[in-house]
A and B are shown apart, each in its own frame.
Chain A
């Protein structure tokens, strides 16, 4: 199982799509590592610079409908190779959320008010994930705790290190 948590990158916008996370022109790369430099290259978000803003981050915090659009799992891999292990958002597009769990990564949904609170903690925010307890602790200038629900099947996928491992064992 992967390790979860880390410093948070805040992307303050809803409907961030997978074309923005990794543009189609890079889908010809044949290894996950080759995708690394292009993460969030086309993100429409004022003042955002992926190279500068992504350094040392492990967690992304965003708004509603994160990962909508294309089914490309490259959007998950490009996070994985950039050492992002968790995305926390108000809601996810179905395929992106499934792709995260299929890769043994975390896509955590929190109510809008909790997300708002996370955005307002101030300073560099570090997120600790207590998976068994379903708890997040976020420390910035202020500290806050949040509880989250994980679908039991998704939890099994994370424990198995992804869907391929799980399916190979069970089907």
Chain B
């Protein structure tokens, strides 16, 4: 019997097996941000355990509220900053160099196939796009990760998600994953790994794969994962070129992290995306998803393009296709938060920022900000936001606010129309 990629990663990182159902894994990367880490740091200090297992394996960013908006968020940043200095953590990204964690860390080449990764953040599953096991954890898991470099998991079962067909014009990874979550429901993948494969995934960019894996948690999954291939190797090349003489050599190595043909899956789900139309959420759960054509005309107050789901360069390009030469409706306000400084710079060089600004968008610095209703675009009671983020929970972007999740293209179309609308008619 063969093994899945995650079973192989688990076998290679096994520190202990306290029971047949549980495994303690050695960690390759522990990532930290200023919302969930400061309280871990102060607790470790209080216990006289202010140490780290390996400063080079800890990656730190201030991203959720940056620049600080008040004394409390300033304190969170300060605790994290002081700790990174004290513990000689070199990969610390403060304002000016910071961006949304799940967009920034992949860009820095921190995630490699076969890695084990945790972070005190549920969307850590994003990094599975690189063929890694990456899971969101709470603060206690984070503390133990920081201190000991280990984390406990139950042995997850794997659901294979085969994505077949051809992506129609105007349909993106975001539409595909919303459609999959609708089918799986919000807990259909709890204690499971979602392994994405098939021809559509094979031809997806790393950015698109990250969008897929990012929302695995919205179906309850422990992690999403894509098998590492040539596209992965090309993305990582600047960081691995000292290690390998050619891409093919890297690819041969990545084979170690491929699921075997006879691996045991709990379930294989097949989706054909050829007839998929742009998707959008209604209600307060990410599995409450409809075809955008069924939501035509729903008015919106704010458009938000950004986040770890859809704040990458491709996302900005898609939105700009619709915004180019147009103005957003007087009824709405548009906010763009490029996810990282690199995305921001690239968007400047490509003329995308100009397109957004001329259309009437406000462009903020890279930050999570409005995605979790903490800063930079919090909704008022009763306001509606067309958003490229990943959660439409009650109050997520501000108390009493309503969020409709959609692709960057659909969000841009909503900005122009002042209401939810099928973006495909705006494509030339």
Q: Does A69 contact B (CB under 8 A)?
A: yes
User: Given A71-B120, A73-B36, A94-B191, A153–B138 Cβ distance below 8 Å?
Assistant: no
The answer on a CB contact under 8 Å between B394 and A42 is yes
Q: Does A103 contact B (CB under 8 A)?
A: yes
Binds A, one of B141-149, B204-212, B350-358: B141-149
Contact of B136 among A28, A71, A102 (CB under 8 A): A71
Q: Does B247 contact A (CB under 8 A)?
A: no
The answer on a CB contact under 8 Å between B122 and A70 is yes
Contact of B18 among A71, A76, A103, A156 (CB under 8 A): A156
Q: Does A17 contact B (CB under 8 A)?
A: yes
The answer on a CB contact under 8 Å between A98 and B190 is no
The answer on a CB contact under 8 Å between A30 and B38 is yes
Q: For chain B, which range describes its interface: under 10, 10 to 19, 20 to 34, or 35 or more residues?
A: 35 or more
Q: Which of B37-69 contact A (CB under 8 A)?
A: 38-39, 42, 47, 49, 65
Contact of B138 among A92, A98, A151, A152 (CB under 8 A): A98
Binds A, one of B19-27, B159-167, B312-320, B330-338: B19-27
Q: How far is the CA of A94 from the CA of B70 in the complex (A)?
A: 33
Q: Does A141 contact B (CB under 8 A)?
A: no
Q: Which of A6-29 contact B (CB under 8 A)?
A: 15, 17, 19-20, 23-25, 27-29
Candidate in A29, A68, A94, A167 with the most chain B CB atoms within 10 angstroms: A94
User: Given A71-B136, A71-B137, A65–B187 Cβ distance below 8 Å?
Assistant: yes
Contact of A19 among B18, B38, B391 (CB under 8 A): B391
Q: How far is the CA of A102 from the CA of B143 in the complex (A)?
A: 11
Contact of A168 among B49, B79, B154 (CB under 8 A): B49
Offer 29 A-B interface pairs, CB within 8 angstroms, sorted by A.
A15-B187, A15-B285, A19-B391, A23-B395, A25-B374, A28-B35, A30-B79, A68-B186, A69-B391, A70-B122, A71-B36, A72-B138, A73-B36, A91-B190, A94-B220, A95-B122, A98-B152, A99-B140, A102-B138, A102-B141, A103-B140, A152-B18, A153-B22, A153-B152, A163-B140, A163-B141, A164-B140, A164-B144, A171-B24
What are the 9 A-B residue pairs with the smallest beta carbon separation, nearest first? Answer: A73-B138, A99-B138, A102-B140, A65-B187, A28-B72, A153-B22, A71-B122, A73-B139, A42-B395
Seen from chain B, the residues whose Cβ lies within 8 Å of a Cβ on chain A are 15-16, 18-19, 21-22, 24, 35-36, 38-39, 42, 47, 49, 65, 70, 72-73, 75-76, 79, 120-122, 124, 136-141, 143-144, 147-148, 150, 152, 154, 186-187, 190-191, 220, 222, 284-285, 372-374, 391, 393-396, 399
